[in-house]
Chain A
Amino acid sequence: MDNAILFKNVSHVYQENTPLEFHALEDVSLKIKSGSFVSIIGKTGSGKSTLIKHINALLKPTSGSVTIGDKKITSHTNNKHLKPLRQKIGMVFQFPEQQLFAETVEEDIAFGPSNFGVTGDELNDTVMHAANLVHLDHDLLKKSPFDLSGGQKRRVAIAGVLAMNPEILVLDEPTAGLDLEGQQYILDLIRRLNREENMTIVLVSHQMDDVAKYSDRVVVMSGGKVVKKCYPDELFTDVNFLNKYDLQVPETVKITKDLADKGVTLDKLSLDADELINGIINKLRNEDKDE
């Protein structure tokens, strides 16, 4: 089914008509194709979280409209009848472990699907499937979520979202505060969900290396506006643009550039570290042959 996300001239004003009024989004238009992996980047306060909260109608546009599949959300949309939309969209917020509350890990993972009417064996299967997806030890399922380590809690929280079987997965800095291995694990999981289950991924991230490596498309935000929508290689080779918006240059791009400055031009730009290493090795081999 096509679940494209379409923002049409969306503006959002916090605390409208008070002196604290704040225009967090201004005239944002954006299309996210079904099944794609899109990263949203931008400085802190640029409106990324505000943008993604529109995807499952936690926030409604002050003006303009957001369409997900065939459901259109405007400022007049009623708060009722949002359940089907919310089921379709998994939201992983920053520090999602804050949402844990149930007595056991198992119950917490089951919370989402049971709210959407899944029961009995089906519920059990869903919980097990989600736990397997995040590689959660089965002995942990009967434990209290509050007795787990930080990284384990994060996995439980993500499993709780995946258990809803979403078609679109929206993540707001899901790797913040994890060790390198934990970060890798979660990003690889997201990529797997994107490729194998054809889940649409919307990722908010400050880690340019990850954005460069994983995403199909990048959306750059600044001051509540979308300032660029493009392919990652297009964005990350434009160093002037990156500097202008205070975005880091990924290590892979830096290395490629340093090599070029020293006279070694690689055949193509690789944004994935492993690919880059292979590229360099090939280059060295070829040069050996030439001599």
Chain B
Amino acid sequence: MNNFIFGRYLPGNSLIHKMNPAAKMLIAFAYIIMVFFANNLITYIVMAATVLLFVLLSKCSFGYFIEGLMPMLWVIIFTVMIQVFFGSGGHVYFSWGIVKLTSYGILNAIVLTIRFMLIIAMSTVLTLTTSPLEISQGISALLKPLKRFNFPVETFSLMISISLRFVPTLTDETKLIMDAQRSRGVDFGDGGLIKRVKAFVPLLIPLFVSAFKHADDLSIAMEARGYQTNRERSHFHTFKWKPNDFVCMLLILVMAIVIFIYRS
């Protein structure tokens, strides 16, 4: 649970770590869209080579990428099964009622698996090299243009960074309260469903109490320091656009062009 989405960030010093978070998010987003345009061997090889390059540049060991795959494993297996057994078209190898094993079905399953892997690998690069705080700053930088349409960008990005800011705090508190209740004889994750759900009551109530208390304290502190909604705020860490951001974005652009040329 700990390794999922949050807490996956690995501090590091690689080229990718140092990139502007907004650039990284744009790249990941563009890449994921391009995955759906790839449709033959050459284009998939180009896609795979690109993500491999990013993985190598991030200097994170492959183990983390395998780990990133794990939570999605069942989703992949399930989708592949459906494709294999219920896909239609092409040569029929085997058929039993509505279940059919066809050449198209198998081909689709392979394509799907490859797409899943590519998307997961790229998003893992993003989450491994970008801290939650950077992600929230990246989001707000990317949302900036929406200001023209009266979208409350400042408030929204503050909301995101406050939520992310409290993830580690609440995680620590969760651990502490779990330890305290375990010491009082609670067994989390033992017994039947009802028993398990019941075991979470002594965890969730103190957590809510403390979350509300944090919210209360924070709002008072913000008010005391003159916070007003939707005013332009400055940041302690500002991200400039550096050459490596442009190089990486150019790389993705080239990849996209190649894919549009070679896709069938």
Contacts and interface: CB of A to CB of B under 8 A. Distances in A.
Interface in A81-132: 83, 86-87, 89-91, 93, 96, 98-102, 111-112, 115-116
B11 interface: yes
B176 A58 contact: no
A19 interface: yes
Contact of B183 (A19, A89, A100, A146): A89
A160 B201 CA distance: 17
Contacts of A98: 173, 176-177, 180, 206, 210
Nearest to B9: A20
A112 B206 contact: no
Contact of B185 (A18, A80, A100, A116): A116
A175 interface: no
A252 interface: no
Contacts of A19: 10-12
- For chain B, give the interface size range: 20 to 34
Given A87-B185, A116-B185, A101 B202 contact: yes
B257 interface: no
Contacts of A18: 10
A289 to B, nearest CB: 56
A146 B202 contact: no
Contacts of A164: 184-185
A283 interface: no
Nearest to B201: A101
B179 A53 contact: yes
- For chain A, give the interface size range: 20 to 34
Contacts of B206: 98-101
A86 B183 CA distance: 6
A100 B173 CA distance: 13
Contacts of B11: 19
Contacts of A100: 206
Contacts of A111: 184, 202
A115 B187 CA distance: 9
B144 interface: no
A221 interface: no
Contacts of B187: 83
A51 interface: no
Interface in B202-240: 202, 205-206, 209-210
Interface in A22-51: none
Interface in B169-213: 173, 176-177, 179-187, 190, 201-202, 205-206, 209-210
Contact of B186 (A53, A87, A96, A115): A115
B179 A91 contact: yes
A115 B10 contact: no
A56 interface: yes
B201 A112 contact: no
Interface of B: 10-12, 173, 176-177, 179-187, 190, 201-202, 205-206, 209-210
A-B CB proximity, top 10 nearest: A115-B185, A91-B183, A112-B184, A99-B180, A101-B205, A101-B202, A58-B179, A116-B185, A101-B206, A93-B180
12 contacts: A18-B10, A19-B10, A58-B182, A58-B183, A83-B187, A91-B183, A98-B177, A99-B202, A99-B206, A102-B202, A115-B184, A146-B209
Interface of A: 18-20, 53, 56, 58, 80, 83, 86-87, 89-91, 93, 96, 98-102, 111-112, 115-116, 146, 160-161, 164
